[in-house]
Amino acid sequence: MIDGYSANGELEAARELFEIMPERNFFVWSSMISGYFKKADVKEARNIFDRIPVRNLVNWNSLISGYAQNGFCEETLEMFRKMRSEGFEPDEVTITSVLSACAQIGELDVGKEIHSLIKGKGMRINQFVLNALLDMYSKCGDLATAKLIFEGMRHKTTACWKSMISGFAINGQSKEALEFFRRMEELNDLPDEITFLSLLSAGAHGGFLDEGLDIFSKMETYGLVANIKHYGCLVDLLGRARRLKEAFDLVKRMHFKPNDVVWGTLLGGCWVHLDTKMVEQVMLGIGRVHHDMDSGDNSHYVLQ
């Protein structure tokens, strides 16, 4: 019952039952820990963990994965070290969580240590571990190793393609990001909104105007709806290409109101290209944004 309450987010009911249990097995402890992490109550999840009289690997995994999923990456690595110091060896679940933490904070050296640990212990590498390794190397900027792992995969999931494209984009390798997208399309893999965001960013930073415009138009083909972040990338793409009038017209006809990020991107393009006339128009637009916010209508202006 505790697992059912916890899975449904009914933590108060789960806690009441938990506290009156005369004995608790490892599964009950882990259910409570996972439940609090799902609610982003990291402190209470840790409090429950600290009460466990005798811990096993499942309990440690609940804590380590919960920290990683909530972005507490330093704590993830700290608890991983503590777990090993207490004599527990990681399994695929532990490894995947720790690699995720490394990817989030760019800890390439630690990620490499984990990879060496996998090889040294002859651990079974399943698809989740492969995906985590690929994501870690790509986000940490070691794209050569990421590509080696990717090309060696028998089954390339959408997550794998996304990791590679994102890795190339954030590390300034725009041409490679676009090339991987072409390969992805040839294999009929379906990109998601995040993949398109990476591709638009790559197009903007690499100066690939036509490719970027084509990619934006393809979102509808895949049944995806562009959000304000996609439009922001498109404004950046047009601005860098000195097509400021088109960028301004795009901002005006968006089906939602532009936020400060979009206006700032457009304004930056105007200043770079010394288009003072367009600067004046953009400043008027920004003035209207802040006037609406001051009047209380700020629902559309949550910064991304």
Q: How deeply is 21 buried, as exposed, middle or buried, from its count of CB atoms within 10 A (0-12, 13-18, 19+)?
A: exposed
The 10s digit of each residue's pLDDT in 108-146 is 999 999 999 999 999 989 999 999 999 999 999 999 999
Structure tokens that stand for 273 in this block = 């290209």
Residue 200 reports pLDDT greater than 80: yes
pLDDT at position 297 is 43
> Is residue 273 classed as helix, strand or coil in its secondary structure?
coil
pLDDT band at 16 (very low <50, low <70, confident <90, very high): confident
Residue 302 reports pLDDT greater than 50: no
Q: Taking the model in full, what pTM does it have? A: 0.85
- In order of 12, 61, 235, the CA distances from 131 in angstroms are 35, 18, 32
- The conformational region for residue 24 under phi > 0 = left, psi -120 to 50 = alpha, else beta, is beta
Helix axes 158-170, 174-186, angle to 10 degrees: 160
Q: What percent of the chain has pLDDT over 70?
A: 94
> What average pLDDT does the chain have?
91
Pairwise CA distance, residues 294 & 303, whole Å: 16
pLDDT band at 186 (very low <50, low <70, confident <90, very high): very high
Pairwise CA distance, residues 291 & 293, whole Å: 5
pLDDT at position 177 is 97
Side chain identity at 212, as an amino acid letter? G
